[in-house]
Structure 1
Amino acid sequence: MFIQTEATPNPETLKFFPGRVILSDGVAAEFHNAESAAGHSPLAAQLLTISGVSSVFFGNNFIAVSKNTGEWEHLKPAILGIIMDYLMSESSIVLAPKSDRDGTEEFFNSADKELVKRIKVLIEERVRPAVSRDGGDITFRGFENGIVYLNLRGACAGCPSSTATLKRGIENLLRHFIPEIQGVEAFQ
């Protein structure tokens, strides 16, 4: 089995491409510690036991691993070994999906329902695919007083350029198509 790796705009995150589907298209899962992964993803739980690994994000055809300490040249062999062994076992990557919402419901005024529908379509069709190419994911969380709130995950979370991406890229795109939007903020 050959697993390709690719740098992301976030120097603390690498993408691993095992050459097979990881999760269904449009589905993503993220884990920040072995305890949160337990019962949901044995692969994520194993990767999170590596000293220095801070999160694991599963996309359609990739696994994005983020670190908080250590150098990639030391972490990469252990990560590759775990991914390779796990995928050779043909076990499921995610057993029981965690909620995409992490306990947070969307918020917006019911009078903005049609506007929110248009925002979500733009995010799904134009923004999410581009963010996925960089090893991350972005989801709609809310709309209030002209501000769109988005949740950044994977390589996007903690990326030095995520603010620029939100403000210059995503905000400009959404405002171009939906003039009622006054701004875009990361949902905390």
Structure 2
Amino acid sequence: MTEPLIKVLETPNPDAHMFRVNEMLIPSGTVEFKKGDPLGNSPLASQILTIPNIELILIAPRFITVRKKDTVQWDGLADMITDALKNFLDSGDMAVFETPNAESDEDLTELEQKVLQLLNDDVRPAIAMDGGDFIYHGIEDGIVQIELIGACGSCPSSTATLYNGIQNLIMEEYPEIKGINQIFNS
């Protein structure tokens, strides 16, 4: 068995770091857990969120993003997270026993399917590189409803990314879209 390789990367959010691994954590998608959430279906989230001053973990196929309290520094925290992640990888446990089902494309209008495809193809890979992801909440009165999660959820530059980048991309491609609204789910 190969030794788990863990690479710690800073993200644009000063309170979040990405931890890349050389093993598959989940088959696809992302799952986010916050301190106080029920963690019974995620041994990995249970381990990471017991570390003091950690608020959130986003689990993706080959990385986790961990967000700390904004009142503390990273001194020592990254090492504690790396150690916990290495111990978890050595255990052979599943990161998440059951991942939430993605919304079926059959439930979406043609415009929603096109917008979601654009988001999946062009936006999701870009924000994943920064340790984040998004949850698509639909289109209401021509306004795309998006929730940014992981490192992007509390990033100081997320508003600029959302409105200057994502909104412009969607509105340029689909003129019937009037704008974008960021959903905050604390």
Q: Same fold (TM over 0.5)?
A: yes
Taking a change above 3 Å as real, the CA distance of residues 98 and 121 of structure 1, as seen in their structure-2 partners, is closer
The within-5 A match list for 1:1-188 is 1-25=4-28, 27-33=29-35, 35-37=37-39, 39-68=40-69, 69-98=71-100, 113-188=109-184
Corresponding position of 1:107: none
Q: CA deviation at 1:158?
A: 0.8
Q: CA deviation at 1:100?
A: 6.0
Taking a change above 3 Å as real, the CA distance of residues 34 and 145 of structure 1, as seen in their structure-2 partners, is closer
The alignment partner of 1:56 has SS state of strand
The amino acid of 2:80's aligned partner reads A
Q: CA deviation at 1:64?
A: 0.4
Asked if the contact 1:12/1:67 (under 8 Å) is kept, the reply is yes
The alignment partner of 1:72 has SS state of coil
Q: CA deviation at 1:77?
A: 1.4
Q: CA deviation at 1:117?
A: 1.3
Taking a change above 3 Å as real, the CA distance of residues 100 and 54 of structure 1, as seen in their structure-2 partners, is farther
The amino acid of 1:15's aligned partner reads M
Distance 2:56 2:37 in 1: 12
Number of equivalenced pairs: 178
Q: CA deviation at 1:33?
A: 1.8
| Percent of aligned pairs sharing the same letter | 36
Asked if the contact 1:146/1:181 (under 8 Å) is kept, the reply is yes
Structure 1 residue ranges without an equivalent (≥5): 102-109
Distance 1:96 1:113 in 2: 27
Across the aligned residues of Structure 1 and Structure 2, the Cα RMSD in angstroms comes to: 1.9
Asked if the contact 2:53/2:72 (under 8 Å) is kept, the reply is yes
Q: Which runs of 4+ in 1 moved over 4 A?
A: 98-101
Deviations 1:58-109 (A, max 9, x none): 11210100001422122111111110011011111111224668xxxxxxxx
Structure 2 residue ranges without an equivalent (≥5): none
Corresponding position of 1:104: none
